[in-house]
Amino acid sequence: MLIGANGAGKTRLGVYLETQFSNQSNEVHRIGAHRSLTMNTKMEVVDFQRAENFFRTGTAEGLLGYRIGNRWQNQPATALLTDFDHLVRALYSEEHKISSAHLRQHRRDLSTQPPETKLDKVKRVWDAVLPHRELVLLAADLKVRSTSASGAEYDAGQMSDGERVIFYLIAQCMMVRPGCAVIVDEPELHIHKAILSKVWDAIESERSDCSFLYLTHDLEFATSRRGAKKIVVVSFDIASSTWDVASLPESMELPEDIVAKIVGSRLPILFVEGNDSSLDLAVYRRVYTEHTVLAIGSCDEVIHAVATFNRHPALHRVGCAGLIDADGRDTALADALASRQIQMLPVSEIENLFALPATFTQLAKLAQFNAGETDQLLAQLKTAVINRATQRLDSWAVAAAKRRIDRSLKRIGLDAKNKANLATEFASAISQINPSTICEDQRAALQSALQSGDLSNILRLYDEKSIFNDVARLLGFKDREALEEFIGRALRSDAGKSLRTEIERALPRLLALPASAAVTAPSPPPAPAAAANAPPARTVHASANITLPNFTAIAEASTVPIELDDRSEGEGSQNSP
């Protein structure tokens, strides 16, 4: 499995593997992403060998050396693959060949059972993944029949784009020779996510003799290929024909899709709270533009993600940091987290950021309020926050104390080796946690902030979702969702530049990991001198001591044909797979 963003060089690496390792005994068949879906079901039957040769190479002779010029029009990385006619003709011709041979055999022996053709296999896989559409096999023709009560039937050439691409991919994989290595570029194209994994599970099961290499930027599909070796294509330098690839670490304590994003990133990673649709991500991606921002859940999950990252040197090709809500943490804890590259917001939670005087003022300006109106609205917001916090002072202090006690309990480390010492050590650790004192300290801190009227300090301590609702109400928005949408649009527009500037001033500054501190792969050894008239050498530069081994037995491979071996420390990357 090769995973990479658009433009990372996946297709060109697929072309390289196809041309470098394909021969008459170990064949590599590549299915391009840029493919025509025009399907003509009215194809004449020809000699099967000739039809198969055209399908494999685009030539009647079946010479692999002419495949680039004929099948790929001398542009293997960019040409539109127009082999649907060759594919259908090969299926028909194989069906005719098998059926004719069976007829002759049946005349000699009436007990002879009909053999299975490649079209029969296509139908079996099709019917399994699209049970509501039956594939009808006729003499040199194909139709599709609805399995609903109507039983409507139509020519296969009139199938939807999704149906045609599913047929095309199934048929391609059924037509390849035994033991073939199949490279599939963008296997997810035109296929609904609900059945994508099912389609490829069925194909792989039917062609268990083949090995499959998928080139994809769909992380959800990539993670569905359990057991497959996953390799991230980071970049491709067209001038030097060099790829930068990295093996996706296994047995990590992070979701596989998150790991793939980390390995594929060219920027330092910033883990934040929330999810892909949360306000956190929308804000941080506009502010921390020099980072790849990944929303990973709760504050504990952010802390865990940063720690996990730092435990895996293979990930250190880029820097890593975390950003969490202040959530009542004291200065000592904030300093401890900062030493582990985890920064805290200046407010209790992300929503409070927009109640800070400077950011609220810019929001009001974007909402078309003048300076006088904005001052009045800010005064009303401050009054509302102080009044509510004063009313909830005691209950808030209890809730804040509970959070601090919970964090204290999680930090207890017990080193005892026997039962008696364990009890003593635990009692000693617990005795240092005084709930009453913690609660009183929390109450006193917020009360002091309220008495001073310092809204910024209040927002650092006090957390309540209704504060963001107050901001929305005062600025004339229907609800918090409408305000979130407005903020998102503003941050994406030139008009929101002043708002972005104030948010940047409020948020902590992150220091990217210096390039010299990153773990880099040693440079590959120089390639041997090229022979006269030889094609230019191509290099796969594998990051973090990863190399691509030789493909000498690609046809016999039982898994993804490209295998990356973790090399021992100190060994370099080889020049070529």
Average pLDDT for consecutive 10-residue bins of the chain (577 residues)? 87 91 84 93 91 94 91 93 94 93 86 90 95 90 88 89 95 95 94 94 94 90 85 86 80 74 82 89 91 91 90 73 89 89 92 95 95 96 95 94 88 84 89 92 94 93 91 94 93 91 92 40 36 44 38 34 33 32
Strands 2-3 and 231-237, sheet pairing: parallel
Per-residue confidence (pLDDT) for residue 151, from 0 to 100: 82
Q: Which residue do the tokens 């330092």 mark?
A: 268
Residue 294's SS3 state is: strand
- Please count the other Cβ atoms lying within 10 Å of the Cβ belonging to residue 446: 23
pLDDT for residue 315: 66
Q: Can you give the pLDDT at residue 569? A: 30
d(Cα 131, Cα 66) in Å, to the nearest integer?
40
Q: In this structure, which long-range contacts are made by residues 140-145, counting pairs with CB atoms below 8 Å and at least 24 apart in sequence?
A: 140/42, 140/43, 140/44, 140/45, 140/92, 140/96, 141/41, 141/42, 142/41, 142/88
Q: In this predicted structure, what is the pLDDT of residue 401? A: 92
Q: What is the predicted pLDDT for the residue at 451?
A: 94
* pLDDT for residue 413: 82
pLDDT of res. 210: 93
pLDDT for the residue numbered 316: 63
Q: What's residue 573's pLDDT?
A: 31
Contact between 469 and 480 (Cβ < 8 Å) = yes
Taking the whole predicted model, whether its pTM rises above 0.75 is answered as no
d(CA 204, CA 182): 10
Taking the C-alpha atoms of residue 550 and residue 37, their distance in angstroms, rounded to an integer, is 35
Please report the pLDDT score of residue 515 as a whole number: 37
**Kind and range of the H or E run holding 271:** strand 269-272
* 458 phi and psi angles, rounded to 5 deg: -60, -45
Q: How far apart are CA 518 and CA 74, in angstroms?
A: 40
- Residue 474, judged by CB atoms within 10 A of its CB (0-12, 13-18, 19+), counts as buried
